[in-house]
Amino acid sequence: MEYKAFMIKYAEIGTKGKNRYVFEDVLCNRIKEHVDKLGDFVIRREYGRIFLEAESSFDYEDVITELQKVFGIIGICPIVVEDSVDFDSIKNKSIEYMGKRYGNKNLTFKVYTRRADKSFPMQSMEVNSEIGHYLLEEFSDYKVDVHNPDVMLTIELREKVYIYSETIKGAGGLPVGTNGKAMLLLSGGIDSPVAGYMISKRGVELEAIYFNAPPYTSEHAKQKVIDLARIVSEYSGPIRLHIVNFTDIQLAIYEKCPHDELTIIMRRYMMRIAEDIAKANSCQALITGESIGQVASQTMQSLYCTNEVCTLPVFRPCIGMDKQDIIDISEKIDTYETSILPYEDCCTIFVAKHPVTKPNLDIIKRSETKLTDVIDELYKTAIDTIEVCEIKPE
Ligand code: ATP
Ligand code: MG
């Protein structure tokens, strides 16, 4: 069966009135960006539906794979289109569709007609039974089952007639670009790419920031983060990645502050820098891959100390998830294999043997005063020497 068109279903919740058009516009743009490289397509709208019609040959599997990465789509239906909205044409097209798609084999079916065009002279029920009747006549091995059919032949009567029997699951969520922008603290680990994916799924555009510690971390570690950003961008769209040289700040903390507090103090500086860069780039929030209790720096007391330096909201979508649940998502979105590559991370290099698990904010703040002489200069240099990479989906 060769399809030339798809009907795109999207959730209509929260998209009433004026917002609906913004939502549909953005979704159409996102679909176009995803399928552009796969052929010539026309994207068309009819109330509550988006149609993707091919004007060139294309690879069916590739188009489905791309459409499944577009947030905001809940279902993808490969359709056949009949231009004439009259009963005989609908009948002929239905028979042709079933013949090509399934042939005459043992199956149960049901016809389901949706009449968006109420001027059509027959009631939906009437169309269902008439078409059902003709199908039974044409295909001797078919049986009707209205409760649990193998095949539900759906006929939508609109400006044209759309016939389909399959709905392939979409990614859900909201189209990227309908909900502002956030700065993802992207490490080379498993959790932060998943966190970025989850927030992007709610329609949020992403920028990302990576704290690099050369020469303690290698080019491989940096490349790994660039690769992860690229995989996430397959869903989120382009990501501007800010790469901060964090080495001198880490060395200063290492030299001047108590070693069991290193991680917390370091994480507070990461959040401060991330927030500054976020604000300078019109981001309205930060995103991290933190999860309660996963490591010493993610106990409730540690999260409290880290969070205290931020004024922007910090989104932590993995916060209540078990590691395995996070891994499951990273496998699904294809970041897992890259995340587990064994390159060192800036956090793992300056880590204490016994980090505090219940840091006290006043004590942490007092320790930070030991950096007073050097930190402003180091902070400024770190910001001034940021390297920016524009990451695009392949
Ligand atoms: P991940 O798997 O995302 O690396 P993790 O379990 O290793 O997380 P931590 O190392 O404590 O946890 O980091 C917690 C969060 O802080 C990360 O999810 C990420 O958002 C941020 N983070 C940690 N290291 C860096 C880094 N080098 N650059 C940017 N963000 C970082
Ligand atoms: Mg990590």
User: What's the mean pLDDT in 316-331?
Assistant: 97
User: What's the mean pLDDT in 237-257?
Assistant: 96
Rg (Cα) of the chain, in Å, rounded? 27
End-to-end CA distance of the chain: 29
CB 391 within 8 A of CB 240: yes
User: What pLDDT score does 233 carry?
Assistant: 98
Question: Token match 């680990």: residue?
Answer: 189
User: What's the mean pLDDT in 259-276?
Assistant: 96
Q: How confident is the model at residue 145 (pLDDT cuts 50, 70, 90)?
A: very high
Q: Max Cα separation, the chain?
A: 89
User: What pLDDT score does 212 carry?
Assistant: 95
- Cβ of residue 187 lying under 6 Å from some atom of ligand 1: yes
pLDDT at 346 over 70: no
* Beta-bridge partners for 144: 109
Helices 323-333 and 219-236: angle between axes, nearest 10 degrees: 70
Given ligand 1 and candidates 183, 184, 191, which is best to mutate, with the most ligand atoms within 8 Å of its CB? Answer: 191
How far is residue 306's CA from residue 298's CA, in Å, rounded to a whole number? 9
User: What's the mean pLDDT in 33-43?
Assistant: 96
| Closest protein CA for atom 17 of ligand 1 | 289
Per residue in 1-24, pLDDT (tens digit) is 889 999 999 986 556 677 788 889
User: What's the mean pLDDT in 261-290?
Assistant: 97
26-40 burial: b if 16+ Cβ within 10 Å, else e: bbbebbeebbeebee
How remote is the CA of residue 79 from the centroid of ligand 2, in Å?
45
Q: Up-side HSE of residue 263: CA atoms within 13 Å toward CB?
A: 22
Alpha helix positions (H), the chain: 17-35, 60-67, 87-101, 124-138, 191-200, 219-236, 247-256, 262-280, 300-307, 323-333, 336-339, 346-349, 361-368, 372-384
How remote is the CA of residue 349 from the centroid of ligand 2, in Å?
11
How remote is the CA of residue 289 from the centroid of ligand 2, in Å?
8
pLDDT at 27 over 70: yes
| Closest protein CA for atom 31 of ligand 1 | 187
- Cβ of residue 329 lying under 6 Å from some atom of ligand 1: no
Mean pLDDT (the chain) is 94
The length of the chain in residues reads 394
pLDDT at 265 over 60: yes
How far is residue 357's CA from residue 362's CA, in Å, rounded to a whole number? 15
pLDDT at 239 over 90: yes
* List of domains in the chain: 5-169 (3.30.2130.30), 181-391 (3.40.50.620)
Listed in sequence order, the residues at least 6 apart from 96 whose beta carbon sits closer than 8 Å to its beta carbon are 80
- Cβ of residue 294 lying under 6 Å from some atom of ligand 1: yes
Cα dihedral: 330, 191, 274, 343 (round 10):
-90
User: What pLDDT score does 347 carry?
Assistant: 60
Given ligand 1 and candidates 192, 275, 329, 333, which is best to mutate, with the most ligand atoms within 8 Å of its CB? Answer: 192
- Cβ of residue 184 lying under 6 Å from some atom of ligand 1: no
- Cβ of residue 263 lying under 6 Å from some atom of ligand 1: no
Share of the chain above pLDDT 70, in %: 97
User: What's the mean pLDDT in 255-277?
Assistant: 96
- Cβ of residue 237 lying under 6 Å from some atom of ligand 1: no
CA angle 344, 307, 328 (to 5 degrees): 50
Cα dihedral: 94, 97, 101, 106 (round 10):
30
- Cβ of residue 182 lying under 6 Å from some atom of ligand 1: no
- Cβ of residue 211 lying under 6 Å from some atom of ligand 1: yes
Name the 3-class secondary structure at 50: strand
Per residue in 147-172, pLDDT (tens digit) is 999 999 999 999 899 999 999 999 99
Q: How far is CA 380 from CA 84, 224, 253, in A?
A: 67, 26, 16
Q: How far is CA 329 from the centre of its chain?
A: 11
| Helices and strands of the chain, counted as H and E runs | 14, 15
Whether the model clears a pTM of 0.85, i.e. scores above it, the answer is: yes
User: What pLDDT score does 187 carry?
Assistant: 95
Strands 161-164 and 151-157: antiparallel
User: Which ligand has an atom closest to residue 293 CA?
Assistant: 1
Q: Which atom of ligand 1 is nearest to the CA of 209?
A: 29
Per residue in 178-222, pLDDT (tens digit) is 999 999 999 999 999 999 999 999 999 999 999 999 998 889 999
Burial of 106 (0-12, 13-18, 19+ CB in 10 A): exposed
User: Which ligand has an atom closest to residue 191 CA?
Assistant: 1
User: What's the mean pLDDT in 54-78?
Assistant: 96
How remote is the CA of residue 362 from the centroid of ligand 1, in Å?
24
Listed in sequence order, the residues at least 6 apart from 126 whose beta carbon sits closer than 8 Å to its beta carbon are none
Per residue in 363-378, pLDDT (tens digit) is 999 999 999 999 999 9
| Closest protein CA for atom 6 of ligand 1 | 191
Given ligand 1 and candidates 347, 350, 356, 387, which is best to mutate, with the most ligand atoms within 8 Å of its CB? Answer: 347
| Closest protein CA for atom 4 of ligand 1 | 189
CB 185 within 8 A of CB 306: no
CA angle 382, 267, 298 (to 5 degrees): 160
Q: Which atom of ligand 1 is nearest to the CA of 213?
A: 27
User: What pLDDT score does 14 carry?
Assistant: 55
Give the closest residue to 351 by CA, choosing from 248, 265, 256, 289.
265
How remote is the CA of residue 186 from the centroid of ligand 1, in Å?
7
